[in-house]
A and B are shown apart, each in its own frame.
Chain A
Amino acid sequence: MEAVEVEEITRVFEPRRRSGTRVVALDEVSLTVPTGEIHGLLGPNGAGKTTLVKILSTVLLPTSGKARVLGHDVVDETEAVRPLIGIVFGGERGLYWRLSGRQNLEYWGALYKLSSREAKERAQQLLERVGMADKADERVEEYSRGMKQRLHLARGLMGDGKVLFLDEPTTGMDPLAAREFRALIGELRDEGRTILLATHDMVEAEMVCDRVTLIDRGKVIATESPRTLGQVLSRFQRIDVEGVPLVVLDEIRAIRGVASVTAVDGVGTRIEVDEEGATQLVLERLVSAGATSVRTSLPSLEEVYVQLIGERGMEI
């Protein structure tokens, strides 16, 4: 059985006021996540990620279409779905700040129908697992942002959900915590859980997911392996540089794999590369020309989309 099946889900938000506009947050989205997969839902702001996660976690109704979690309809069979899922969303909310971390977990344990003893045991295990055991009895309001996030993850695991919905779970974490978090996601998969990870972070999606569905403006663009994503990421690079003589820029423009060289306000010159290996040649040339302040960065998600779509001759 598939863990998550989404069939042509559409969700329209009608305007609350007469002057408001109608938003099609999801437009006939279909996707399938087999049991045991870490599936990325990658898209820029407003793509519809949270909307889909909400529908799957039974807190929002679709306008049309069907969705099932482990075979149960998320609209009609909420009682069957809810015990099977765990939810984690980014940010600092969703916790009781005046309770301790441990009390929060035990509270949710009760809501997930654990006996007090089971809840105590699981809370302790999870606190250790997310590295919060030594802070467990402090009030949440005293936690740092990243600590709240870790507690949030533990909270999402209190019900021992077989399918986990993670919506931007690493927002607010420092890089080290985010790395540990990703390792933990891998462990959860190894325990046989299925994970749907909504994110706008391409690197995160590439690192942890088995497959990634790219969505934009409510539509699925493609489902890719993270390797394809990785290739795109390593091929397309952006180099920002200041104070380079025009002659040198002309030379760089001639290097194979350099897509564009443009002047950008406030940045200096932006060089975009679209072939593996070209970045290195460009950097070498810049350094030998004595350029200072050279910065490389990843392309934006939109740019990657444009590339992927362009290559496939797809239309948005």
Chain B
Amino acid sequence: MSAVATTLNVMQHAFRAGIADYRAIFTWKSWLAGWYVRVLAQVAFFALIGERLGDDEKTYYLLVGNSLLIAAQVGVFSLNMTSAERWAGTLPLLVASPSSPVVVFSARGAYLAIDGSLSALGALFIAGPLFGMDLPWPRVLAVVPLTLLVGLASYGFGTFLAGIVFRYRSINSLVVVTTYVSLMAACGVNVPLSYYPEPLELLARFLPLTNGLLAIRGVFAGLPAVEIVGNAALELAVGFGWMTAALMSFNRLASRGRRDGSLDFGA
């Protein structure tokens, strides 16, 4: 097989391994009852706050933002992927194989991007109409790929964090909490970016939710396509950047492990 074909084949298997992990946790029923209901409740909670303020615009703002936040948060869960790998004790075997562990990590948690996007879309398209938001057909279809984009970009970011957490195990929960809070607070979920000082706004642009969310708000607001595409391209670039950084850090992790002996057989 060609190099590209073997790489895709590894990604496909790694992706399926991730799905199997997930299916061991969730069945369709438990996903709907345990997870999805929670997602709806969370989004509805924020939308209700908007209603309390007696302002449709605020309601929809919160509804869209908090729906998309779900896609980002689930995507970022991929940072747990390496702990799973460490627990399985497979890392030295991956390093000793003819394929790069990096390829595995690029696909192993990708189901999270899909899960997050589906959850977000499900929340948006169910809670939205319930709160009287109208979904401008067919424009609204653009929200689907944009949401997936947010999911994927967040997955890239999560994979990057996974590399950090792998090396500095002790700060695992700190990383998780910080990420969660920054996504919620800094990416324009509940308040517009302009609310913050400019440097912070610039920083927020590097997080994997900010630009995608702006693009999606643009779809609902009927902004010109150029503006939407512009933000979408930024989101793509941010996701790509984080994923590249992630893969580089995994490469470094492997070569460091070879030097200091931290790639342990089964230990």
Contacts and interface: CB of A to CB of B under 8 A. Distances in A.
A binds B: yes
Interface of A: 13, 50, 53-54, 57-61, 79, 82-83, 85, 87, 89-99, 103, 106-108, 110-113, 115-116, 139, 155, 159, 167
Contacts of A87: 92-93, 96
Given A59-B92, A94-B88, A103-B17, A113 B266 contact: no
Interface of B: 1, 6, 9-10, 12-14, 16-17, 20-21, 23-24, 88-90, 92-99, 104, 257-259, 261, 263, 265-267
B98 A159 contact: yes
Contact of B266 (A89, A98, A111, A159): A89
A107 B90 CA distance: 12
Given A107-B13, A110-B12, A116-B9, A94 B266 contact: yes
A156 to B, nearest CB: 9
21 contacts: A50-B265, A54-B265, A58-B95, A82-B98, A87-B93, A92-B266, A93-B267, A94-B89, A95-B90, A96-B20, A96-B90, A97-B88, A108-B97, A110-B6, A111-B10, A111-B13, A111-B97, A111-B104, A112-B97, A155-B93, A159-B97
Contacts, number: 103
Nearest to A103: B20
B98 A111 contact: yes
A59 B90 CA distance: 12
Name B's interface SS.
helix
Contacts of A99: 17, 20
A110 B1 contact: no
B30 to A, nearest CB: 15
A80 B82 CA distance: 27
Contact of A113 (B1, B17, B265): B1
Contacts of B90: 93-96
Nearest to A95: B88
A87 B259 CA distance: 19
B9 A98 contact: no
B261 A90 contact: no
User: Which of A79, A89, A106: most chain B CB closer than 10 A?
Assistant: A89
B95 A59 contact: yes
Given A96-B17, A110-B10, A85 B96 contact: yes
A96 B20 CA distance: 10
